[in-house]
Copies of this chain bind each other. A is one copy, B any other.
Amino acid sequence: MATSRYFALNQFPQGMPRREDFTLHEVTLPALDHNEVRIQNRWLSVDPYMRGRMTGAKTYIEPYELGQPMDGAAVGEVIESNHAQFQLGDTVRHMGGWRDVAQLPGSDIERLPEYEVPPQAFLGVLGMPGMTAWTGLNRIARMQEGDRVLVSAASGAVGSLAVQLAKAAGCHVVGVAGSDDKCQWLEEHGIQAVNYRGKDAAALTDALRDASSEGFDVYYENVGGPLLEAALANLRDHARIAICGLIDRYNDTEAGAGPSNINQLLFRKAKMEGFIVMEHWGYYTEFLSQVAPFVEKGAIDYRETVEEGLESTPDAFIRLFQGSNFGKMLVKLTG
């Protein structure tokens, strides 16, 4: 009898999630239904947006239900199929993550696009994070060659791609990160680096001005908090802020004060816009056709931080909020 081990929330985290908020369950899988496929997961994705699904409230995505299998992006291998389009051994991507074995209708599964890249790249540089970086820069912030571009969380899964895409588009790029080695990595890629550690809004404002005395045309916003205030203080006329995430606040138990200088949007005739990458998924093939060739030839340095084993999934998730991951955080299953 086939079984699946999956994580469920046993309570909604208060503030920073803790390991004990998650429980590993085991379930016996029913026989495959018509058109269903069984998948042995190889790679699980953990992503900051999942924190928003752990509050019990609907934001832009359905919340996780207590005691129910969690989900998320995953890549795995077909081990049983009742669907004509999927054969044993196919490598596929789907949303049945946070578990070792997924059983899904074929309509919820996609074969990986044919590029010469490792399969887990479709959870990162060529998956949702890469598409998020590309969408924010191109479809929201309308990045132009020569723009001065600021990226926060610049060594994270999304930010580390955003800085490289902006650089490749001929922009002057400043990246904000939280450690010396992350800043060094940015500098090695021609990105001017700002270390945010130990800096309040005023010090960040000065640091951004030092990095680009002319200010910024584009701000790719992953963080919020004092960094948003510092960025608002350093906008150029007609600047565009793409709000991809506000990770600074995801674990706050009460609302903090917002930036005191929203009036900069008025003075700079600037735009700030939130977006959800899912609404732009119709452009995924356009994104792939632009970015995948760069990835194939090694022109994009995408980093991965890998935890091993299903049991480590909650720890991998929690590490996202400690700033200890570099690039895409993944869980590798060896089952």
Contacts of A272 in B (CB 8 A): 265, 271-273
Contact of A269 among B246, B249, B270, B274 (CB under 8 A): B274
- Contact flag A266-B279 (CB < 8 Å), given A255-B260, A271-B273: no
In the docked arrangement, what's the CA distance between A243 and B279, Å? 25
Query: Once the chains are docked, how many angstroms separate the CA of A243 from the CA of B263?
Result: 9
Q: How many copies does the complex hold?
A: 2
Cα distance A220–B307 in the bound complex, in angstroms:
48
Is chain A's interface secondary structure helix, strand, loop, or mixed overall? loop
Produce 1/0 per residue, A289-331, CB < 8 A to B: 0000000000000000000000000000000000000000000
7 extra interface residue pairs, beta carbon distance < 8 Å, beyond A60-B266, A257-B257: A224-B262, A224-B263, A243-B266, A245-B266, A258-B258, A264-B274, A270-B274
A–B pairs, 30, beta carbons within 8 Å: A60-B266, A60-B268, A60-B269, A224-B262, A224-B263, A228-B262, A243-B262, A243-B265, A244-B266, A245-B266, A246-B262, A246-B263, A255-B260, A257-B257, A258-B258, A258-B259, A258-B261, A258-B262, A264-B274, A265-B272, A265-B273, A266-B276, A268-B274, A269-B274, A270-B273, A270-B274, A271-B272, A271-B273, A272-B272, A272-B273
